[in-house]
Amino acid sequence: PEGPDGAPIHIFESGAILQYLARKTGQFYGQTARDRIAVDQWLMWQMGGVGPMAGQAHHFLKFAPEDIPYAKNRYRAEVARLYGVLDRQLAQSDYVAGDFYSIADMALWGWCSLWEGQQQTLEDKPHFTRWLEKVGAREGVQRGRALHADKRRDPTARK
């Protein structure tokens, strides 16, 4: 894409791409510097915590060629802990970084929506559950999830 100085720029890492697009469009990043700091904190929390831990949970629970109970238990428990942190945060506001939908919600929802495959329970996470439903009901999220849905259901598509 066109960079800040008008010259082409190559951007990698999902969080950096989301930040670039939010800054460029002025959308999904809050209205104030304080909002943007909150969004960045939760985006980094997703990138350093939920993404890697949920990814490992999926791997060891669904795809690992051998059964490793320690790994299954470790990542299942860590994802549960992280979702507990998120539930407590969401008790304070509608969305992760405040009362506005942001790139932090976008980054988190994709992993969090797969809670069943991570062998999580939601009975003790009412705010997390509300947020999952609220974000999942957004038209843009539904359109995005519909893309290549047939490949997500086919385990051989991942190979």
Provide the β-strand partners of residue 111: none
User: Which CATH number does the domain housing residue 90 bear?
Assistant: 1.20.1050.10
10 within domain boundaries: no
Q: What would the pLDDT profile of 109-118 be if each residue is shown by its tens digit?
A: 999 999 999 9
Provide the β-strand partners of residue 95: 98
- Cβ atoms of 50 and 111 within 8 Å: the answer is yes
**In the predicted structure, residue 157 carries a pLDDT above the cut 50:** no
Cβ-based neighbour number of residue 15 at 10 Å: 17
Q: What would the pLDDT profile of 26-60 be if each residue is shown by its tens digit?
A: 999 999 999 999 999 999 999 999 999 999 999 99
Residue with structure tokens 């086919």?
A: 154
24 within domain boundaries: no
Q: What integer is the mean pLDDT of 118-130?
A: 98
54 within domain boundaries: yes
In whole angstroms, give the CA distance from residue 34 to residue 26: 15
- Closest to 38 (Cα-Cα) out of 49, 46, 29, 51: 29
**Claim: this prediction has a pTM higher than 0.75:** yes
For residue 95, give its domain range.
31-158
Q: pLDDT class for 153, splitting at 50, 70, 90?
A: low
17 within domain boundaries: no
What percent of the chain has pLDDT above 90? 87
- Rounded to 5°, the CA angle 30-36-41 comes to 125
In whole angstroms, give the CA distance from residue 158 to residue 134: 28
37 within domain boundaries: yes
> 155 versus 20: which is more confidently predicted?
20
The CA–CA distances, whole Å, from 128 to 8, 19, 32, 144 equal 39, 24, 25, 21
138 within domain boundaries: yes
In whole angstroms, give the CA distance from residue 12 to residue 101: 23
51 within domain boundaries: yes
Q: What integer is the mean pLDDT of 52-69?
A: 97
In the chain, the number of structural domains is 1
8 within domain boundaries: no
